[in-house]
Structure 1
Amino acid sequence: MKARHIDHVNLRIPADGADDAREFYGERLGFGIEDALYAADEKPFFDVRLSATAVIHLWPTDEFERPTKTNYDHVAVVVEESVDEIEAELAEAGVEVEKTLDSPLGATGEAGAVYVRDPFGYRVELKARV
């Protein structure tokens, strides 16, 4: 078996968290939101479009449990910007940086990364392209 990339990640969010998700992922981080089928009650989740080949499925549910260090760590997203550009964009968007690392190892090698938390407690690593 030869995997090429991650297609999607499923994350549960609070039943009333869709607007917060759209604002954080869409407006603050600048990713595309694909929610027409969700809004039409044709599927139980909506997508954060990271690239042409990768999405995060967000599932609003009453069964949401805030992530802890024992059940979740983070999802890593490679972006085109440098660490300095990532930090500047986050500051402009009012997103608090949890930490910055110079060269954490990832699937494509070592590159700088900036870590933030979404409104639901999930850590998101924004990793500079190698």
Structure 2
Amino acid sequence: MIARHIDHVNLRIPAEGVDEAREFYGDALGFGIEDALYAAGEKPFFDVRISETGVIHLWPTASFEPPTATNYDHVAVVVEEPIDAIESELDAAGVDVEKILDSPLGATGEAGAVYVRDPFGYRVELKERV
């Protein structure tokens, strides 16, 4: 088997957190929100489009429990912008930066990364392209 990339990640969010998710992932981070089928009641989740080939499925659920250090760490997303531009965009969007690393190792090598938390406690790594 030869894997090419991660297709999607599934994350649970609170049932009442849909608008917050759209604001964070869509408005603040600038990712695409694909929610027509969810809005039409045709599927129980909606998508955050992070690239042509990758999405985050967000599943609103009444039994949501925030992530903890023992069951989740982060999802890493490679972005085209350099680290200083990432920081500037986050600052302009009012997103708090949790930490910055100069060169964490990832699937494609070492590159700078900025870590943020979404409104539900999930950590998201925004990593420069190597």
Secondary structure at 1:59 match in 2: strand
User: What residue ranges of structure 1 are gaps of 5+ in the alignment?
Assistant: none
Q: Within 5 Å, give how 1:8-87 maps onto structure 2.
A: 8-87=8-87
Shift of 1:98: 0.2
SS in 2 for 1:16: helix
Pairs within 5 Å for 1:87-126: 87-126=87-126
TM-score of the pair, normalised by structure 1: 0.99
Identity across matched positions, percent: 82
Structural RMSD (CA): 0.4
Aligned length: 130
CA distance in 2, matches of 1:63, 1:52: 31
1:3 correspondence with 2:17: no
State the distance in 2 between where 1:58 and 1:16 align: 12
Note the residue ranges of structure 2 that are not aligned, 5 or more in a row.
none
Give 4+ residue runs of structure 1 displaced > 4 Å after superposition.
none
